[in-house]
Amino acid sequence: MNPEEGRLLIGIARNAIEWWVKKGTEFKPKDYPESFNEKQGVFVSLHTKSNQLRGCIGFIEPEKPLIKGLVEVAISASQDPRFPNVSKDELDNIDIEVSILTKPEPVEINNIKKGDGIIIEKGFNRSVFLPQVWEELHDKENFLNQLCIKAGLAPDEWKHDIKAYKFNVEIFKE
């Protein structure tokens, strides 16, 4: 995507959040490129101006057209169950980040490298970290330990029989 499309994605995400928080209704985008109708994985992350995570929700798989998925996850990020719902008073204090995901591909644990988005699965347990998480969890062992904990597994479960998938993202920020 080009920078103009990225700015449009951010604007649509912001409108979706503001409409939901202020009016309790879903924003219906009208003017956007045809490419936004293609199915894509998408995440919306919200951060306070002091760079604290305020919400992060998304679709890993390309299961919905980008435009529909974007509006849905933007609203959901404003209601991330890990945090109180975003209030009207907070809207000016929140920065929005949109991540467009490539289709996940299987990867061997020993081939994971810094900068990869990673999904792990074992049985019914599954978790995902966007590539941006490497900024906080710098080394591979800690990254994988935390990913296992997020999935409800033992921290070192990644050393055993586990499925892993990698993906890349295109990031657009306010």
**Can you list the domains of the chain with their CATH numbers?**
3-101 (3.30.700.20), 105-167 (3.30.1490.150)
Which pLDDT score is estimated for 161? 86
Q: pLDDT for 20-56, tens place per residue? A: 999 999 999 998 999 999 999 999 999 999 989 999 9
Instruction: Say if pTM beats, i.e. exceeds, 0.75.
Output: yes
Computed from CA positions of residues 5, 32, 63, 125, in that sequence, does the dihedral angle turn out positive or negative?
positive
DSSP 134: G
> In this structure, are residues 86 and 17 in contact, taking their beta carbons and an 8 Å threshold?
yes
Torsion from C-alpha of 151, 111, 162, 59, nearest 10 degrees: 40
Q: Which residues pair with 172 in a beta bridge?
A: 98
User: What does pLDDT average to in each consecutive run of 10 residues of the chain (174 residues)?
Assistant: 93 96 93 94 95 93 94 97 95 96 94 95 94 90 95 94 94 94
Q: pLDDT value at position 1?
A: 86
